[in-house]
Structure 1
């Protein structure tokens, strides 16, 4: 599969899974006013579905005026598409797709509801640790960014690039013996 197709399919899959889980949570746990919403424990006190209407951004960060919650994601989506279309690396393409799917998923919530549906509640009670309540879009954004960072830090170089001298002239053409342009 080409890098571009991988980008598109990972974005579509991330967006589909995000919106599907939000619709399921909204239908099952978010009926009535917010004070009546109830969650369910999945793994004891470690993992729960706890529906929350999040008016803020990723990790509950505030972006300032409400219009910025539409403008900033649109700008980010444009940047992700721009970088992804210039990219030929499959790992990076998948990462850009996850980021795009997550960003579009949360943007759909903002436009449709005015806030984002968060519902994954992760805790480690023995360490008195509780992570921000999040959704699959947030997870896809973070995983995509981590993949890009890992690829940038630890990505393999091609064998030719690893052995070539940085300032070496191009190798001569085997037929003519002249340097290649």
Structure 2
């Protein structure tokens, strides 16, 4: 007699399929790449400005509308909260830790871009606060871009603001960090997992 053909072993009864199958890849590498680009650009521009720019001689780029002028900012982005430098340093550290924690499970490219901009900007200004005068946790941030009435800012400030705006827009449009949209999928999954009255 011919042996009975073996049937391939299927998943155990009640076992759930791999939830990662068919999902978008993790975006941590993209987040790190964006943050590194912002950080390098911020550091290079600050080093150049400190070396070449005279604080008392602003450089006109577009008339009086756009100028480059070196200032040392003890406050937050756009010269806010100038008397709370040490607290702002701790907040920047918390932001860096939080972004990295979220990035470990990130699957949305847009969220990776936004968080990467925020992370790169936070790291850029954090390095100033840790290593520039007058000392650790009290360091003044180098700002140098002046546009009209807008407070003087730097590349890191731009990264933080642009990243934050993008993250708010993604939230408003219902795009989640895991790449899904809204809460419809979660609600459907929860409904599917619940046994019906006939089954029970």
TM-score interval for Structure 1 and Structure 2 normalised by the shorter chain: 0.7 to 0.9
Residue in 1 aligned with 2:196? none
Residues of 1 paired with 2:46 and 2:105: CA distance? 32
Alpha carbons of structure 1 residues 75 and 63: separation in structure 2 relative to 1, 3 Å: farther
Summarize the alignment of residues 129-144 of structure 1 with structure 2, pairs less than 5 Å apart. 130-144=149-163
Number of residue equivalences: 161
Q: Deviations over 1:114-139 (max 9, x none)?
A: 1000001001xxxxxx0010000000
Rg larger in 1 or in 2?
Answer: 2
- Among candidates 107, 121, 131, match of residue 146 of structure 2: 121
Is 1:170 the counterpart of 2:195? The answer is no
For 1:126, the equivalent position in structure 2 comes to: none
Q: Does 1:39 align with 2:69?
A: no
What's 2:129 paired with? Answer: 110
- Deviations 1:134-161, CA, capped at 9 Å, x for gaps: 0000000000001101111125588997
Shift in alpha-carbon separation, 1:76–1:170, aligned structure 2, 3 A: same
Q: Distance in 2 between matches of 1:133 and 1:161?
A: 38
- Structure 1 residue runs of 5 or longer lacking an equivalent are 124-129, 172-178
Match of 1:176 in 2: none
Q: What secondary structure is seen at the aligned counterpart in 2 of 1:132?
A: strand
Structure 1 range deviating more: 83-92 or 57-66: 57-66
Is the Cα contact below 8 Å between 1:10 and 1:101 reproduced in 2? Answer: yes
Is 1:23 paired with 2:47? Answer: yes
Task: Confirm or deny that 1:7 pairs with 2:31.
Answer: yes
Preserved CA contact (<8 Å) 1:54 1:118: yes
Q: Which TM-score applies when normalising by structure 1?
A: 0.77
Structure having the larger proportion of residues in helix = 1
Tell me, which stretches of 5 or more residues in structure 2 are unaligned?
1-24, 133-138, 194-198
SS in 2 for 1:104: helix
Alignment CA distance shift 1:40-1:161 (3 Å) = closer
- Which stretches of structure 1, 4 residues or more, deviate above 3 A after TM superposition? 63-66, 155-171
Do the aligned residues in 1 keep the contact of 2:74 with 2:82 (CA within 8 Å)? no
